[in-house]
Amino acid sequence: MALAVIQMVSGTDVLGNLAQARRLLEQAAEGGAQLAVLPENFAAMGRRDPAAIGLAEAWGEGPIIPWLKLAARDLNLWIVGGTLPLPPVDQPNAKANACSLLVDAQGQVVARYDKLHLFDVDVVDSRGRYRESDDYAHGNNVVLADTPVGRLGLTVCYDLRFPELYSALRAGGAELITAPSAFTAVTGAAHWEVLIRARAIETQCYLLAAAQGGTHPGQRETHGQAAIVDPWGNILAQQARGAAVLLATRDSDEQASIRARMPVANHRRFFPRDADLRPAQILE
């Protein structure tokens, strides 16, 4: 069960980005991959018109979704389409979500995940201020889907900092989790590897962390270090920066053995979010 994670250095040219992504997906298919994960903003990075892009896609007039479907069919490959802007299905004129689509090898969209956590953060870099909520609405649902390589949970980038989402995916039966990302160079250097390994270890899932890795329009520098992490937290493949295809194999027997030897899912105790947490009693 071969897996592929793709790293890109996307810019503002949608058609140019799609051409680059197609070449990388072809490499993944040639390497035997059954599932390939594209990074966040794979089709457009640095554009200031996500609403227009999303509206065109929603009305069937944009290039991105037809391209994804065709690539999946041509290459006989399941594809996680990183993220692209898409409005809610029933509200085409509403603010777009940062949407990750799962397309099967017949070119059918079988799952849609709208990014739950939006990156509204101040970072000590050349840009300084990031406000995804200016352009995007947050999603509301946890999403899983069955694939030929296992039960897949979908997440995106900043979600990595919220372990309760990953616990919910594990509780829903996830065996692999995707995290297409575009971490800043500053936050990536500080936390990227720690986060992707931690999410893999605590869920005992394969973590498929596609990434943007390089310099983009609008003074944006991304960290890169796309990686495939196994359920024990080992990094099976990694790329520092630049466009690349990473390949690894899911060992379902070893994953089952890890879960049997350390049955953390059976030991987990849940606490209500608004629990009455009282000060510890002082014993004399």
Q: Where are the beta strands (DSSP E) in the chain?
A: 2-8, 35-37, 78-80, 84-86, 97-103, 109-114, 120-122, 129-131, 144-147, 150-154, 176-178, 206-209, 211-212, 215-216, 220-221, 226-229, 235-239, 244-249
Say whether 205 is catalytic: no
Say whether 95 is catalytic: no
Residues 6+ apart with CB under 8 A from 26: 75
Residues 6+ apart with CB under 8 A from 191: 161
Q: What share of the chain is helix, strand, coil (3-state, %, to 5)?
A: 30, 25, 40
145 and 104 Cβ atoms separated by less than 8 Å = no
Cα(204)–Cα(135) distance, integer angstroms: 34
* Three-state secondary structure call for residue 129: strand
Give just the sign of the alpha carbon dihedral 172, 173, 177, 178: negative
- Cα–Cα distances in angstroms (integers) from residue 185 to residues 220, 223, 245, in the given order: 9, 4, 20
Please identify which of the residues 69, 99, 115, 132 carries the catalytic annotation: 115
Cα(277)–Cα(270) distance, integer angstroms: 14
Residue 182 amino acid letter? A
Per-residue b or e along 132-146, where b marks 16 or more CB atoms closer than 10 Å to that residue's CB: beebbbebeebbbbe
Please identify which of the residues 157, 175, 205, 221 carries the catalytic annotation: 157
Please identify which of the residues 40, 57, 132, 175 carries the catalytic annotation: 40
Say whether 115 is catalytic: yes
Q: Which pairing describes strands 78-80 and 97-103: parallel, antiparallel, or unpaired?
A: antiparallel
Catalytic residues: 40, 115, 157
